[in-house]
Structure 1
Amino acid sequence: MQTFIAYLLFAFQWLAILPGILASPKVISLDFDRYEVFGDTKPGLRRRDTSGADITNSQGSLLYLLNVTIGTPPQKLSLQLDTGSSDIWLPWAKSSQCSNRNTRCSGSGSFDETLSSSYQLLQASTFLISYVDGTKIRGDYIRDNLAVGSSSVINMTMGLAKTASEQDNVSPFQGIIGVGFETGEAVYAQTGQVYPNIISQFKASGAINTRAYSLWLNSKENGKGTILFGGVDTAKYSGDLVSLPIQPDARTGTVMSFTVALDNFNVMGANSQNQYSKSNLSLPVILDSGTTLTYLPDSMANDLYTGVGATVSTTYGVVVPCDLQNSAATFNFGFGNPNGPVITAPIAQFVLPFPADIPAPTFRSTGKVACRWGIQAAANRPILFGDTFLRGAYVVYNLDNNEIGLANAIVNATTSNVKEITAKQIPGITSTAAGVAKQTASGLQGPNSAAFSTGSGVIATATGPAFNLGSSTAGASSSNAGGKKSAAGVNSPSMGVVTMLAGVVSIMAILGGALLLG
């Protein structure tokens, strides 16, 4: 009798926990590797943002690479994860960039359609991107099976980049996996059509319940980050996770990019004293993992150059003394409204060392070693918040509800607590910070940046910072703590216009004929 009761209790226990096992969270967790490319980036590393601009950072581009397989049997590739675009495109194995006599595809791989039994050609020679410098990428729209992590998509629509006319053959030929809105697909601007991209395919297959994902880039010293399709990791952020409405394009009324409203900005220096403030900005900013730097309006960027003691070098671009990364100062970005979420970023987050194979330049006046500066002027381009900002933020992109969840990231976190995003709500959201910012940027021009070279290794001048940036610290904290606060009054340092050195590069997507990709 006792044995029977014991079995009965055991059965009841399993009945109690079985629903939880069967209803396990529908979340796809993927780790990605960070890869940095230096020098003048070329196609595949120069990418089209959601408003059509060609975004290149010739001072170095950070790529976040996902390992995938394409075709039957599977062919291995590494694709750049990009929230600012919506297509997947692959380098063709038989292109001149990927042929046996060329190693430009050796690092990230390429695709040979003749080796895949599941390959389908949709439209030949209709995948075409043209750059004003004469560079063109042309190829086919194809379908084939794609697998990433433990998830797979049958008959995924992609672009196969077959030819590229370029100025040089130096940079890697890098494929992209775009996770933006379908209205950001290259075909949409030409035909008004869309096809199910990767995140829509994940939802259609039942792998996730909502077209949403969260992005954790981790610290600049750590080479790995995580994207969670359909989920949120509450152990990767501190403070409140606040919802922000995604702003539509002012001309079309269509949501095409991950644009949110920046309300205020502060620089907190020594003894937490406010060194610089801007309020009531209503700035439309795009949160874009495919852009390396953070681009601010010219007046703000120039104020910060003076404030931190940045120098514009004809050889090395915008540089600062490397010891700036030891400052106790923080940049505080306030979103939505005056009481909305504030991302508190240590200044070290924006100080980028030169690559190991380029001798570190020094300032002649002080002998200090120079580093690259992670903020630049946007000119007449969209305001883009790239990797130098996003590393300090935990961002949830909800495409179904047109909302962004935002909180301060905990970098180098070692624990995990994953929650599923439902159709109703992002788990952990505490409030919504309403704010309006009209996205009117034409997106026809590329960023101001300057390529660096080895040069003489000496930068002629170095100016001291106008801000009181505080005493040196032992290093940046492993947790970016932040909360809700209002911006103070404006206290901008005066300065002349800083001459930015760069070539402007434009991009347009040209697709011939109607594409039936449904």
Structure 2
Amino acid sequence: MYSILYLCLLLAFANAQQNPKVVQTDLIHLKSQASGPFIPLVQFSLENQTINALFDTGSSDIIVPQKGSSICQNPAQHSTLQATFVNGTEFNGDFAALDLAMDGQTVTGTTVGIFTSGSLPPDAPLFPIFGVGPVQAEAVGSTQPQHGRKLRRQAGNFANLYPNLPAHMKEIGMIKSNAFSVYTDDARAKTGSIVYGGIDTAKFEGQLQEVPLERANDGALPSFVIKFGSVSMETGISGSSEINLSSHINNDAPRAAAATTDLAPRDGLPVTLVDTGAPSILLPAASLQMLATAAMVFRFNNDAIAIRAPMDTLVMPQALVQDARPGQCVLPVFPSQDTAVMGLPMLQSAHVVFDMDGEKLLMAQTKFNVTESSLRKYP
């Protein structure tokens, strides 16, 4: 009798260990003048120490500073809540296998980079990075059996790759697939969510649409890069057309002539002052209200996928813009000479599944400010 009960308990435990599930955690929006309104953080624990880190699909390692190391001595750089991501920052240290806890779930044996030295631009804040990109972007160097892998970025060196967090969660049976979905939500909200190994069907409209990942010239998949079809401006005014902004994105695709939209109020425009001493353009409030209903429309995979980003979600609050002038409107959009980047401002409007097993992304229009949840495993 007791042996049968013991066997049943063992079988139940084994089944629980082999039955993948989904793991959901919060995406926290950091807002400050130093960092701006579009910094996503995740909270986790290592060795019972709570850490806030930048959630980054553009890198692949979880990297944290060693407490008390020389790089942590500058008080201005020793605060995760001043987080700004600075390209070109260099870290040196070692990798270690640690138990990582997030939202009540423990991921045993997670590989974490612990840096003790490096270089930062003057006055740049220091903060941990929670990288969940493809493993081929990992910062791995030579293997040191006694001390773990050396933390040093070497592009194209794939000899010492390790399963990063999503891959490791699949490897130990926590989730079914090396995939996770991101619900950023409106950055003016407090939190969004991340679902490892699953999706939340309550958080998006319509059906998820697939777009394959683009390989690098050497055949590797080091980044979540996809085909950018077009970008346009939708005015939100009844009867108006979209204004094409993407004449140089894909020269092979035919483009319609750019549309124009009248922003004049119904009662007409007033007289205007021409003043070289004025630092801005002043328009009637009604014209600006029409602009506020506009949206940027981003299309991917030969325009098969369209994501509408309302303008009011893109505009940066004046309180978070350094040296902002009264009435100034600032968009977090900057020129790029080569690869375009769809950062958090656009991702507020897109529910995205990052699927490394299928080597693809899936996208749908997000539903803003949804509190209910409907989780299911993916795929």
Same fold (TM > 0.5): yes
Task: Measure the CA separation in 1 of the matches of 2:223 and 2:44.
Answer: 25
Residue 341 of structure 1 pairs with residue 311 of structure 2: no
Which residue is equivalent to 1:458? none
The residue type equivalent to 1:331 in the other structure is M
**Cα offset for 1:75?**
1.5
2:330 is paired with a residue whose SS is strand
Note closer, same or farther for the CA distance 1:278–1:223 as it changes in structure 2 (3 Å cut): same
Which residue is equivalent to 1:138? 92
Task: Measure the CA separation in 2 of the matches of 1:320 and 1:376.
Answer: 23
Note closer, same or farther for the CA distance 1:280–1:162 as it changes in structure 2 (3 Å cut): same
**Cα offset for 1:282?**
6.5
Which residue is equivalent to 2:351? 394
1:183 is paired with a residue whose SS is helix
Task: Measure the CA separation in 2 of the matches of 1:199 and 1:346.
Answer: 31
**Cα offset for 1:281?**
7.0
Note closer, same or farther for the CA distance 1:62–1:280 as it changes in structure 2 (3 Å cut): closer
1:208 is paired with a residue whose SS is coil
Task: Measure the CA separation in 1 of the matches of 2:87 and 2:306.
Answer: 39
The residue type equivalent to 2:58 in the other structure is G
Maintained 8 Å contact 1:145/1:152: yes
Task: Measure the CA separation in 1 of the matches of 2:137 and 2:314.
Answer: 28
Note closer, same or farther for the CA distance 1:226–1:272 as it changes in structure 2 (3 Å cut): farther
The residue type equivalent to 2:308 in the other structure is T
Note closer, same or farther for the CA distance 1:146–1:25 as it changes in structure 2 (3 Å cut): closer
**Cα offset for 1:320?**
11
Q: Deviations over 1:351-381 (max 9, x none)?
A: 112335956413xxxxxx113212221123x
Equivalent residues in 2 for 1:48-447, closer than 5 Å: 60=36, 62-71=38-47, 74-99=48-73, 102=75, 104-107=77-80, 131=88, 136-169=90-123, 171-187=124-140, 189=155, 191-193=157-159, 194-249=161-216, 251-269=217-235, 270-277=237-244, 323=288, 327-338=292-303, 340-355=304-319, 360-362=324-326, 369-380=327-338, 382-422=339-379
Q: Which moved more, 1:326-335 or 1:75-84?
A: 326-335
The residue type equivalent to 2:128 in the other structure is G
Q: Deviations over 1:375-425 (max 9, x none)?
A: 221123x21000111001100111100111110000101211111103xxx
**Cα offset for 1:37?**
5.0
1:352 is paired with a residue whose SS is coil
Equivalent residues in 2 for 1:463-502, closer than 5 Å: none
Task: Measure the CA separation in 2 of the matches of 1:161 and 1:372.
Answer: 36
Maintained 8 Å contact 1:331/1:346: yes
Note closer, same or farther for the CA distance 1:262–1:155 as it changes in structure 2 (3 Å cut): same
**Cα offset for 1:76?**
1.4
Q: Deviations over 1:245-277 (max 9, x none)?
A: 11111x112222111112233322221412412
Note closer, same or farther for the CA distance 1:36–1:394 as it changes in structure 2 (3 Å cut): same
1:240 is paired with a residue whose SS is coil
Task: Measure the CA separation in 1 of the matches of 2:32 and 2:162.
Answer: 31
Task: Measure the CA separation in 2 of the matches of 1:28 and 1:341.
Answer: 27
**Cα offset for 1:167?**
4.2
Maintained 8 Å contact 2:60/2:134: yes
Task: Measure the CA separation in 1 of the matches of 2:33 and 2:139.
Answer: 27
Task: Measure the CA separation in 1 of the matches of 2:302 and 2:121.
Answer: 45
1:235 is paired with a residue whose SS is helix
Aligned residues: 322
1:153 is paired with a residue whose SS is strand
Which residue is equivalent to 1:433? none
Task: Measure the CA separation in 1 of the matches of 2:334 and 2:244.
Answer: 18
Note closer, same or farther for the CA distance 1:412–1:319 as it changes in structure 2 (3 Å cut): farther
TM-score, length-scaled by structure 2: 0.74
Q: Which moved more, 1:178-187 or 1:273-282?
A: 273-282
Task: Measure the CA separation in 1 of the matches of 2:87 and 2:373.
Answer: 43
Task: Measure the CA separation in 2 of the matches of 1:244 and 1:70.
Answer: 35
Note closer, same or farther for the CA distance 1:319–1:237 as it changes in structure 2 (3 Å cut): farther
Q: Deviations over 1:34-57 (max 9, x none)?
A: 113544x7xxxxxxxxxxxxxxxx
Percent identity of equivalent pairs: 25
2:41 is paired with a residue whose SS is strand
**Cα offset for 1:144?**
2.1
Equivalent residues in 2 for 1:450-469, closer than 5 Å: none
1:389 is paired with a residue whose SS is helix
The residue type equivalent to 2:377 in the other structure is E
Note closer, same or farther for the CA distance 1:108–1:275 as it changes in structure 2 (3 Å cut): closer
Task: Measure the CA separation in 2 of the matches of 1:320 and 1:190.
Answer: 51
1:69 is paired with a residue whose SS is strand
The residue type equivalent to 1:221 in the other structure is R
Task: Measure the CA separation in 1 of the matches of 2:28 and 2:37.
Answer: 14
Structure 1, unmatched stretches of 5+, are 1-17, 42-59, 110-128, 284-302, 309-317, 363-368, 423-518
The residue type equivalent to 1:27 in the other structure is V
1:355 is paired with a residue whose SS is helix
TM-score, length-scaled by structure 1: 0.56
Maintained 8 Å contact 1:261/1:282: no
The residue type equivalent to 2:350 in the other structure is A
Note closer, same or farther for the CA distance 1:87–1:107 as it changes in structure 2 (3 Å cut): closer
Q: Deviations over 1:53-88 (max 9, x none)?
A: xxxxxxx473211111112xx211111111111011
Residue 29 of structure 1 pairs with residue 27 of structure 2: no
Equivalent residues in 2 for 1:37-52, closer than 5 Å: 38-39=33-34
Task: Measure the CA separation in 2 of the matches of 1:373 and 1:320.
Answer: 17
Note closer, same or farther for the CA distance 1:220–1:144 as it changes in structure 2 (3 Å cut): closer
